[in-house]
Amino acid sequence: MTGKKRILFLCTGNAARSQMAEGLMRAFHGEAVDVVSAGSRPAGWVHPLAISALAEIGIDIHDAQSKSADQFLDQQFDVVVTVCDSAAQDCPLWPGAKRIEHWPIEDPTWGDGSGAARFAATRDELARRIEELMKPEC
């Protein structure tokens, strides 16, 4: 055990939102947390625009791999965060979680406008929520 807070980010495919959240958390709070991400139905790949959106701010996740939530079921986490409605439905409870949070973040692969802009907006929303999550509790 590292003594660090353990955080798991879950989404459906572990291809975009949860991968970006893991990368952001590791880059900004890696000294304080042990972070992983996974998918309830892993895609088997990481979306190139998720990789690009983080590269724009100097975070490299090009070696990231899509992982199944099943491999983490027997592990303890301080916080499990579902970053999409589908993952919240697939994994409403997490046996080893001290706390579960749900962030209903829209899938950046769908919608109007440029895909790159949607992924950048998702990255920025995740970064804002991560900073809120990491604020010291009063």
| Active centre residues (catalytic) | 11, 84, 91
CATH of the domain at 127: 3.40.50.2300
Q: What is residue 97's DSSP assignment?
A: B
Q: Which residue has the tokens 């003594």?
A: 3
Of residues 26, 24, 46, the one with CA closest to residue 122: 24
Mean pLDDT of the chain: 91
Task: Look at the chain and report how many structural domains it folds into.
Answer: 1
Residue 18's domain spans which residues? 5-134
pLDDT digits (tens, 9 = 90+) for 54-112: 999 999 999 999 999 999 999 999 999 999 877 556 656 788 899 999 999 999 988 77
